Structure 1
Amino acid sequence: MNAQPISRFPVPDIADLPKDIAERILAVQEKSGFVPNVFLVLAHRPDEFRAFFAYHDALMDKPGNLTKAEREMIVVATSNINQCQYCVVAHGAILRIRAKDPLIADQVAINYRKADVTPRQMAMLDFAMKVSQRAYEVDEEDMDVLKAHDFTEEDAWDIAAIAAFFGMSNRLANVTSMRPNDEFYSLGR
């Protein structure tokens, strides 16, 4: 295991956290076999932890026209352009698992335009990247492209919300110097 600190900010002990946060972290640990560092780093501010994960879950765990793997593709592609090592590594692992493909996360992270994705997924990622980098340029033409690939207005909102939420997450991860857990590197390979 890596001896480097996981954050430049204080990281609380699970035993010292509010009960609801400690229970959530322990449930994740039980399911995955380790505690992803994002949970420990963000637990430094309990109210923000709750808000962050409530919105995360609302975006990433909802049923809809986007698969869970496609949602993770958005996170990996936009996190790469935002230079967020933690999110590329962690969500890359989740993408490999959800897509049942050991190569897709690396392809999407390095250059999604050359990745083995469908034309529909390419349109989704192009839109997510535009939202991530130039949201002020989004116009009806972008919506028409999505519609041509059978995305609804609600899907467009989901794509935009995921790109926007992870833009915030990427910035927090970078400012806190959040380190990816060693376990993420081999998951789904």
Structure 2
Amino acid sequence: MSTMLSRFPFPDTLDELPEDLRARILAVQEKAGFVPNVFLMLAHRPAEFRAFFDYHDALMERESDTLTKAEKEMIVVATSARNHCLYCVVAHGALVRIYAKDPLLADQVAINHRTAPLSERHRVMLDFALYCAIDVGELTAAWEGRLTEAGFSRDDIWDIGAICAFFGLSNRLVTLTATPPNPEFYLMGRVPRES
């Protein structure tokens, strides 16, 4: 592989990986058309790879009370931008663009959600997400009142906090390893996908 994908060893070929990791990576490759670099970076430690993606899927793929996939990804983009994680801003920004069907939204959220053309619901959600990711993150009565008034359930509030916590881990691992975003992510959701 020509580009450095990690400061730590990673597999030269998928054949070097345990079967379950290989199968998971091939499934993602089939769906996306490429292997996201984070999968190869995390393959450095198979047990942690499994735990990481199991928790990722439990948070990001499960049905929430009211949080949409686009909203979950907006949380990732806003908090990852504050954590200076280029990989997560670019990769999850692509998902925001796709799920929200809006080619501009991810960049606006990454730079400053308070000036982005968002609903009050989204502004409160991202204010709380940044509070969880950067500040104390305690669920005070005031925060619970604001979030409830914006239409979030207690399970949604848990999801917002858990997504911030999980992607704080992801942001730090990607920064530690210097894993770059795949070039494919930059255009996803901006231009029509090739058949």
Q: What TM-score results when the alignment is normalised by the length of structure 1?
A: 0.97
Report the structure, 1 or 2, having the larger helix content: 1
- Post-superposition shift, 1:117? 1.5
Matched, 1:19 2:33: no
Runs of 4+ aligned structure 1 residues displaced above 2 Å come to 135-138
1:132-167 Cα offsets, whole Å, 9 max, x none, are: 011255411111100011111111000000011000
Q: Give runs of aligned pairs for residues 92-111 of structure 1, distance below 5 A.
A: 92-111=93-112
Counterpart residue number, 2:38: 38
Listed as ranges, the gaps of 5+ residues in structure 1 are none
RMSD between superposed Cα atoms in Å:
1.2
Aligned partners of 2:125 and 2:170: how far apart in 1? 20
| CA deviation string 1:30-85 (max 9, x = no partner) | 11100000101001100000000000001001112100000000000000000000
- Deviation of 1:6 after TM superposition, in Å, equals 1.2
Aligned residue number for residue 148 of structure 1: 149
Structure 2: state its 5+ residue gaps: 191-195
Equivalence map 1:1-189=2 (5 Å): 3-12=2-11, 13-64=13-64, 65-189=66-190
Sort the Cα spacing of 1:99 and 1:48 in 2 relative to 1 into closer, same or farther, 3 A.
same
The amino acid that maps onto 2:45 is R
1:17 corresponds to which letter in structure 2?
L
Contact 1:130 1:138 in 2 (8 A): no
Q: Choose 49-58 or 2-11, whichever is displaced more.
A: 2-11
Tell me, in whole angstroms, the C-alpha distance in 2 between the residues paired with 1:154 and 1:125: 16
Deviation at 1:116, TM superposition (A): 1.8
**Which TM-score applies when normalising by structure 2?**
0.94
For 1:56 and 1:75, the matched residues in 2 are separated by: 12
Alignment: residue pair count: 188
Moved more, 72-81 or 110-119: 110-119
Q: 2:24, 2:174 → 1: CA distance?
A: 20
Q: Secondary structure at the match of 1:106?
A: helix
